[in-house]
């Protein structure tokens, strides 16, 4: 009996760990792995997704092993991509084969909300892959898995299988953001995929991305990309506008290396520390030079360094994402990142508290906005 893995996803674009994962499955005894790019995944309807033909073509470029089959079934079918329909199709195409459908831990937790979950489990065995970025949360993961095992047994009288593959922390989001900011994507995906992206001018940034490329050095552009990637993980959970989050994050440091005295019409309080001025100047530039009209975006840029009382959810998100972005290495950042995987408000208070005491310990000036924010959020909690 053939053993066939079904690996679905948006693949926008395919990245190195997708490719490594398929190789791993083939090494584990799968006769075939069918890679299925979605047409419109139900959970991403509001997102702008690269046209299906491009995503399909990039997958075809990435896989050369004949046992890795890129299927255009969902693309040709069009409409929403429901797993049970896809599995019904492949169960007929590969009649008698043993089908295995692969999900991540987050998808496992959401599985109960999927359309016709019972039918899915009738058609295929469920395999669960855990990403490397989830390491360090072993206890939480173990408890989650045990809880889901009990639920599956009680509800479906079925089991699922954990895979030992631990993928690196690479995402399609990172590739898109790096490319929009003019950063190299070598090593993040296959060379032929990179050539395809360049040839077809995919993942290009809007005027805000193009603006920051003029004002920031490469090192700071990496930081900007990481802040964006961090913040975008919370968009759906917080019911925020992805465009507003993206704009606020991409512009948050635009004035980092600009002399405030050289910007006509810009003024700032005389007691404002130099380390804070760039945030106020960035908000000024976004509004007056780049035409950003959203007061929420302007506010998030202006207070991403200092914070203030009565922060909006967007402003809190930018503040936190700036503080815990991927390249940050200060003591305690890992703990703050774990808070981020839970509740944003709690993480924000912890980040504000950490910033306040770090400034005090270093003997640096603490601007009045930060003091007010600390009194409003941290002292109120104690």
Q: Give pLDDT tens digits for 191-222.
A: 999 999 999 999 999 999 999 999 999 999 99
Which residues fall within 8 angstroms of residue 72, CB to CB, at 6 or more apart?
Answer: 37, 56
Question: Region 351-355: what's the mean pLDDT?
Answer: 97
Q: Is the pLDDT of residue 134 over 60?
A: no
Say if residues 210 and 247 touch (Cβ distance below 8 Å): no
- What are the CA-CA distances from residue 110 to residues 90, 106, 113, 114 (Å)? 23, 6, 6, 7
Question: Region 269-276: what's the mean pLDDT?
Answer: 91
**Residue 104, pLDDT score:** 86
- What are the CA-CA distances from residue 199 to residues 58, 194, 203, 204 (Å)? 12, 9, 11, 12
Q: Is the pLDDT of residue 137 over 70?
A: no
Say if residues 257 and 216 touch (Cβ distance below 8 Å): yes
CA distance 265 to 239: 36
Question: Region 345-359: what's the mean pLDDT?
Answer: 97
Would you state the CATH architecture of domain 206-381?
Orthogonal Bundle (1.10)
CA distance 281 to 286: 9
CA distance 356 to 325: 18
Which residues fall within 8 angstroms of residue 190, CB to CB, at 6 or more apart?
Answer: 14, 16, 19, 61, 62
The better pLDDT of the pair 190, 379 is held by: 190
**Residue 86, pLDDT score:** 96
Q: Which residue has the tokens 């944003």?
A: 344
- Least confident interval from 42-51, 124-133, 265-274, 369-378: 42-51
Question: Region 250-266: what's the mean pLDDT?
Answer: 96
**Residue 165: which pLDDT band, with cuts at 50, 70 and 90?**
confident
**Residue 382, pLDDT score:** 57
Q: Is the pLDDT of residue 66 over 90?
A: yes
Residue 84: strand, helix, or coil: helix
Question: Region 313-330: what's the mean pLDDT?
Answer: 97
pLDDT in tens, 71-98: 999 999 988 889 999 999 999 999 999 9
Residue 126, beta-bridge partner list? 101, 160
Residue 208: strand, helix, or coil: helix
**Residue 140, pLDDT score:** 72
**Residue 135, pLDDT score:** 47
CA distance 137 to 120: 29
**Residue 30, pLDDT score:** 96
Q: Is the pLDDT of residue 1 over 90?
A: no
Q: Is the pLDDT of residue 231 over 90?
A: yes
**Residue 105, pLDDT score:** 84
- Considering the four listed CATH numbers 3.40.50.620, 3.30.365.10, 3.30.420.10, 3.40.309.10, the one that applies to the domain covering 3-171 is 3.40.50.620
* Domain chopping of the chain, boundaries: 3-171, 206-381
Residue 99, beta-bridge partner list? 4
Q: What are the backbone angles phi and psi of residue 162, rounded to the nearest 5°?
A: -85, 140
Please state the pTM of the whole predicted model.
0.92
Q: Is the pLDDT of residue 139 over 80?
A: no
- What are the CA-CA distances from residue 81 to residues 35, 85, 106 (Å)? 14, 8, 18
Which residues fall within 8 angstroms of residue 253, CB to CB, at 6 or more apart?
Answer: 212, 216, 220, 223, 224, 227, 278, 282, 322
Q: Is the pLDDT of residue 247 over 60?
A: yes
Question: Region 360-369: what's the mean pLDDT?
Answer: 93
Q: In this structure, what token pair is assigned to residue 295?
A: 């007061």
Q: Is the pLDDT of residue 185 over 50?
A: yes
CA distance 176 to 13: 8
**Residue 133, pLDDT score:** 52
Residue 3, beta-bridge partner list? 98
Q: In this structure, what token pair is assigned to residue 89?
A: 């199709």
Which residues fall within 8 angstroms of residue 320, CB to CB, at 6 or more apart?
Answer: 230, 336, 340, 344, 347, 348, 351
**Residue 286, pLDDT score:** 98
**Residue 42, pLDDT score:** 63
Residue 127, beta-bridge partner list? 102, 161
Strand locations in 62-190 (E)? 68-70, 98-104, 125-131, 160-167
Q: What sign does the dihedral 343-348-350-351 (CA atoms) show?
A: positive
**Residue 28, pLDDT score:** 92
Question: Region 347-367: what's the mean pLDDT?
Answer: 95
Share of the chain above pLDDT 70, in %: 95
Question: Region 283-298: what's the mean pLDDT?
Answer: 98
Number of other CB atoms surrounding residue 12 within 10 Å? 25
Q: In this structure, what token pair is assigned to residue 30?
A: 């799968």
Average pLDDT of every residue of the chain: 93
């Amino acid at each position: 009996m053939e053993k066939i893995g079904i690996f679905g996803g948006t693949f926008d674009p395919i990245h190195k760990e997708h490719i490594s994962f398929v190789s791993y499955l083939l090494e584990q005894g799968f006769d075939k792995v069918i890679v299925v790019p979605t047409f419109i995944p139900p959970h991403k309807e509001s997102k702008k997704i690269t046209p299906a033909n491009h995503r399909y073509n990039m997958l075809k470029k990435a896989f050369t092993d004949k046992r890795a089959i890129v299927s255009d079934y969902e693309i040709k079918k069009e409409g929403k991509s429901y797993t049970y329909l896809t599995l019904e199709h492949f169960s007929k195409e590969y009649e008698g084969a043993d089908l295995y459908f692969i999900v991540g831990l987050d998808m496992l937790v959401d599985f109960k909300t999927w359309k016709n979950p019972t039918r899915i489990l009738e058609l295929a065995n469920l395999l669960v892959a855990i990403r490397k970025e989830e390491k360090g949360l072993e206890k939480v993961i173990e408890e989650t898995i045990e809880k889901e095992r009990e639920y599956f047994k009680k509800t479906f009288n079925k089991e699922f299988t954990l895979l030992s593959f631990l993928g690196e922390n690479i995402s399609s989001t990172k590739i898109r953001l790096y490319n929009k900011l003019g950063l190299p994507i070598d090593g993040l995906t296959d060379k032929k995929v990179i050539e395809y992206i360049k040839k077809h001018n995919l993942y290009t940034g809007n005027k805000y991305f193009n603006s920051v490329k003029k004002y920031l050095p490469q090192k700071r552009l990496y930081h900007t990309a990481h802040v964006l990637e961090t913040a975008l993980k919370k968009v759906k959970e917080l019911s925020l506008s992805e465009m507003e989050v993206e704009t606020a994050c991409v512009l948050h440091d635009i004035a980092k290396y600009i002399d405030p005295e050289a910007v006509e019409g810009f003024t700032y309080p005389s007691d404002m520390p130099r380390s804070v001025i760039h945030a106020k100047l960035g908000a000024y530039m976004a509004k007056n030079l780049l035409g950003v009209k959203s007061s929420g975006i302007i506010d998030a840029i202006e207070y991403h360094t200092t914070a203030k009382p009565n922060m909006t959810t967007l402003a809190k998100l930018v503040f936190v994402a700036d503080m815990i972005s991927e390249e940050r290495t200060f003591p305690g950042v890992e703990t703050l990142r774990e808070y981020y995987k839970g509740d944003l408000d709690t993480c924000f208070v912890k980040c504000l508290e950490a910033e306040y005491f770090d400034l005090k310990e270093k003997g640096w000036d603490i601007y009045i906005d930060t003091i007010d924010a600390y009194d409003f959020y941290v002292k109120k909690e104690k």
